[in-house]
Chains A and B, each alone.
Chain A
Amino acid sequence: ILNVEQSPQSLHVQEGDSTNFTCSFPSSNFYALHWYRWETAKSPEALFVMTLNGDEKKKGRISATLNTKEGYSYLYIKGSQPEDSATYLCAFSGGYQKVTFGTGTKLQVIP
């Protein structure tokens, strides 16, 4: 079983603050890194899929970067809003292996 770690486990920020969290994964045999957002009482939804070292993706106030050589990805949220409150999951895929999910970072944005 591959080791995919996310930090911090949980995070409380004030509305308007910017924040970031980390996903660490094996640096060998990389194929893709996915970010998902999982809001309470809803299904996880895909945010980004990243495949190349140095990839940067952006969707509105949320962006992500990827470093496959050192095995990490950052997710950034600029100007956090209460609707950003969710658990953010990363998922690592290596070659033709199955995807391995991290334990998630639970974000709560306080109005």
Chain B
Amino acid sequence: DGGITQSPKYLFRKEGQNVTLSCEQNLNHDAMYWYRQDPGQGLRLIYYSQIVNDFQKGDIAEGYSVSREKKESFPLTVTSAQKNPTAFYLCASSIGPSQETQYFGPGTRLLVL
């Protein structure tokens, strides 16, 4: 089955620690995205990548980093510089540019200990 997988489902971060959220897709999509959802707010774009080895900051990139070394993988690192990391994180992909329909993973909930 083609789709997007995210792991882990729940992640706990200690103060000052970097953590990495995994996102993998086997849809052969060029573009991938990371969103953050907080209660009462819409999905906010953290980073996106239109093609391998290239990515751009979204609206709330501070405290996060990404890499796109492979077409199917787009991991997100939440660094210690992100002071309020507790949120639900969704990864998505699309065939082409961001105007295309996006397909979402199941999400990762990050909690701070």
Contacts and interface: CB of A to CB of B under 8 A. Distances in A.
For the residues of A in contact with B, the DSSP-based class is loop
A93 B105 CA distance: 21
Given A46-B103, A89-B42, A89-B43, A99 B90 contact: no
B74 interface: no
Contacts, number: 49
Contacts of B98: 93, 97-99
A32 B98 CA distance: 10
B101 A103 contact: no
Contacts of B53: none
A62 interface: no
A68 to B, nearest CB: 14
Nearest to A5: B42
A31 B40 contact: no
B8 interface: no
16 contacts: A43-B90, A43-B107, A44-B90, A45-B104, A46-B102, A91-B102, A96-B97, A98-B45, A98-B48, A98-B56, A100-B45, A101-B35, A101-B43, A101-B44, A102-B42, A103-B41
Interface of A: 1, 4, 31-32, 34, 42-46, 49, 89, 91, 93, 96-104
